Amino acid sequence: GQNIDQPTEMTATEGAIVQINCTYQTSGFNGLFWYQQHAGEAPTFLSYNVLDGLEEKGRFSSFLSRSKGYSYLLLKELQMKDSASYLCAVKNDSWGKLQFGAGTQVVVTP
């Protein structure tokens, strides 16, 4: 079967760092995406990893280990506006078909 697992919810304080883990077992792999989704809105693109290693983009970084079927999204210097659901998604084929995890709700507290 195909599985993408990530924690349901994480809580952290403003200014802190939070790491959201994602493990996957899929029939195909052509890259892993992280999206941010606020309630009632469409997902917005955060990062894309296709090779092993760390990709840094401002306050957000994403890591991939293909041999372990593992990725994480690191959010630094948390702000209240970062409270949202973070979706891990695996691209199964070269056409762009994405399989999503259930999402991790991040709650940032003052």
Partner 1 sequence: GAVVSQHPSWVICKSGTSVKIECRSLDFQATTMFWYRQFPKQSLMLMATSNEGSKATYEQGVEKDKFLINHASLTLSTLTVTSAHPEDSSFYICSAIDRGGYTEAFFGQGTRLTVV
Q: Does 29 bind partner 1 (CB under 8 A)?
A: no
> Helix, strand or coil for residue 93?
coil
Q: Does 103 bind partner 1 (CB under 8 A)?
A: yes
Q: Does 83 bind partner 1 (CB under 8 A)?
A: no
Type of residue numbered 23: T
Tokens of 99: 């399989």
Tokens of 91: 């691209």
Dist CA 52 CA 55 (whole Å): 9
Q: Does 99 bind partner 1 (CB under 8 A)?
A: yes
Footprint of partner 1 on 36-55 (CB under 8 A): 40-45, 48
Nearer to partner 1, 42 or 53 (CB): 42
Q: Are 89 and 96 in contact (CB under 8 A)?
A: no
Which residues contact partner 1 by CB under 8 A?
31, 33, 40-45, 48, 87, 95-103
